[in-house]
Amino acid sequence: MGERTIREVLKRRSEDTQRVLQQQRSAKTSGLRRRARGLRSMLIVIVVIIAAVLAYSGWLVNQAINRFAADRVANLTSGNNVALELHSAVQFLPDTLLAATDPNFYNVGNMSVSPLTRRLVRIYFPNSPSVTADLMAIALQYTYSRTDILQNFINEVPVGLDHDRPVHGFAAAGQVYFKKPFAQLQPQDVALLVALATGSTMDPRADPARALILRNAVLQQDVEQQVLNQAQANLFKKTPLDLAPGSP
């Protein structure tokens, strides 16, 4: 093969190589552009999702605050003995309720969701996911005092059953189970109502033996949280339930 022929072959190979390299560079550039467009699209989707989540979260927070405010006004203006004002209730109620459900209610920060506040949110929105319930609970804790939250709780929480119907609030429960205004209830009576409010979905008149066990467990929790001493708790544990007969 002559020198000229060799140069021509090398030239053709060089041109072919350049074309291949150019194609590779073009493919790489095109791939980078596609990836960049994909990343931009993904970022747009993420931003839209975040904006939607924030908007939805804001709506949920607003719903919880509005519901709380409406109930607070209704409880404070109620004149039918169904609502109970915390400042007029015996101190044994909030002390025993917190001893049984949330001993650190007044001690944790607003970002730490209180079990009692979470329970109140669950009463308002029973089907809300856990994350949503916690978000609404934090919003309530930032917006209202712990005493306001406790006030709403004692008037909204289900306190056992009356012929399979939930009894809402401690004042109503006192009337249903003892046929007495709440102010006339004895400490052992209040302890029973607290036991029913901690999630024991039962009518104590239908199973008094179990109701007695639950009541006495709450009285013992009072001892553990220094609401009562052991001698006081033992005395209250010996008392009968003294439940009024239920209406047909």
Domain check: are 194 and 108 in the same one? no
What token pair was written down for 159?
Answer: 């306190």
Per-residue pLDDT tens over the stretch 219-245 = 999 999 999 999 999 999 999 998 988
My answer on whether 152 and 170 are in the same domain is no
Beta bridge partners of 27: none
User: For residue range 98-110, what is the model confidence (pLDDT) as tens digits?
Assistant: 999 999 999 988 8
Q: Is residue 83 part of a domain?
A: no
For 37-80, write each residue's pLDDT tens digit.
777 766 666 655 555 555 566 766 777 777 777 777 776 655 55
The residue out of 139, 156, 173 marking a domain boundary is: 156
Least Cα distance to 183 among 170, 197, 166, 200 occurs for 170
Note whether 123 and 166 are same-domain residues: no
208 and 231 in a single domain? The answer is yes
Domain-embedded: residue 12: no
For residues 174 and 191, state if they share a domain: yes
State residue 109's pLDDT score: 83
Percentage of the chain modeled with pLDDT above 90 = 51
The answer on 47 and 131 residing in a single domain is yes
**How many domains does the chain divide into?**
2
Q: Between residues 163 and 106, which one has the greater pLDDT?
A: 106
Report, as an integer, the average pLDDT of 22-44.
69
The pLDDT of residue 248:
45
Residues 151, 163, single domain; the answer is: no
Considering the domain architecture, whether residues 152 and 163 belong to the same structural domain is answered as no
Residue 222 lies in a domain: yes
Q: Is 82 among the domain residues?
A: no
Q: Cβ–Cβ contacts within 10 Å for residue 33, how many?
A: 10
Verify that 46 and 119 share a domain, yes or no. yes
Asked if 165 and 151 sit in the same domain, the reply is no
- Band of the pLDDT at 28, cuts 50, 70, 90? low
Q: In terms of residue numbers, what domain contains 148?
A: 42-67+104-156
Domain boundary among 156, 191, 219: 156
**210-224 confidence digits (pLDDT tens):** 999 999 999 999 999
Please report whether residue 93 resides in a domain.
no
The answer as to whether 27 is a domain residue is no
- pLDDT of residue 31 exceeding 90, the answer is no
Same domain, 183 and 228: yes
3-state secondary structure the chain: CCHHHHHHHHHHHHHHHHHHHHHHHHHHHHHHHHHHHHHHHHHHHHHHHHHHHHHHHHHHHHHHHHHHHHHHHHHHHCCCCCCCCHHHCCCHHHHHHHHHHCCCCCCCCCCCCCHHHHHHHHHHCCCCCHHHHHHHHHHHHHHCCHHHHHHHHHHHCEEEEECCEEEECHHHHHHHHHCCCHHHCCHHHHHHHHHHHCCCCCCCCCCHHHHHHHHHHHHHHHHHCCCCCHHHHHHHHCCCCCCCCCCC
